[in-house]
Amino acid sequence: MSIRSKNMKETQSIPRACLTALLLGIAMTCLLAQEVPSSPYLTVPQRCAFLVANPFVAKQLLLTPDQVKAAQKALSKYSAVSNKLVSLKKPVGKEMAANDVWLANSYLNILTPTQKGVILQLGIQQLGSEALLDPTIIVKVGLSPVQAHKIAAIYKAVEKRSEDVDAMEGDAVVAIPLPKPGANQKAYEKKKSAVYAKFAGERARIQREKLDADKEILGVMTPNQQETWLGLSAAPAKTPSAPPKKGK
């Protein structure tokens, strides 16, 4: 399931301010700790930086108390600005985007080079081949414009089929009449489960196609590029060393 479709299913539990910003295409703080946000104006390294808010990731990074304090301070400022922008009765898309970029860069500035490498790997593990559409990753892997174009075409083709299945499944769920207030929910949930079961085969097929697409994408790369990409998308080899304390 894509990040976007998953978020749509969870909107009922998202606070109103966060929901408003989400509809503007903004990655809000209530979503940060869970996964790499989807964003058209952040680079992959910037998107991965949002994982600093994930306690599991913070533990892997061996953040010092000073780093944790700096990250919390940045997040508090970001949240305050976001809430203020959401309260304004005018379009604030550009301002929200600038605020997202500010937080991403603030997080990156807190981290050591080794920690930046680890958080990038953790983020790319979530993103998979999508990361290869990003100019910064294209440069890191050393892809030519022709290679980047071929990879984008392969990725977008299978992603389009995945989104089509998401849409069909979503339409089928929406078509189920909602139970009346106070009525038993079991029949409704049973019908939803039946819809998900109906599309299980399609989802399995999409997963196989994604694996095939990943292999095809590797085939576009040279051996050296493959090694670089597999290194970026692999789990971090070891926990980074903690940065030296001040005064040492």
Q: What is the pLDDT of residue 245?
A: 52
Look up the domain containing 60 and give its range: 1-131
pLDDT 10s digits, 162-196: 999 999 999 999 999 888 887 778 888 999 999 99
pLDDT 10s digits, 98-133: 999 999 999 999 999 999 999 999 999 999 999 999
Domain presence at residue 204: no
Compute the average pLDDT of residues 138-154: 97
Domain presence at residue 183: no
pLDDT 10s digits, 63-101: 999 999 999 999 999 999 988 888 887 777 888 899 999
Domain presence at residue 137: no
Task: Return the closest-CA partner of residue 77 out of 122, 23, 29.
Answer: 29
Domain presence at residue 218: no
Q: What is the pLDDT of residue 7?
A: 40
Domain presence at residue 6: yes
Query: Contact, 17 vs 96, CB < 8 A?
Result: no
Domain presence at residue 139: no
Domain presence at residue 213: no
Compute the average pLDDT of residues 8-23: 40
pLDDT 10s digits, 22-53: 434 344 443 444 688 888 889 999 999 999 98
Domain presence at residue 111: yes
Number of domains, the chain = 1
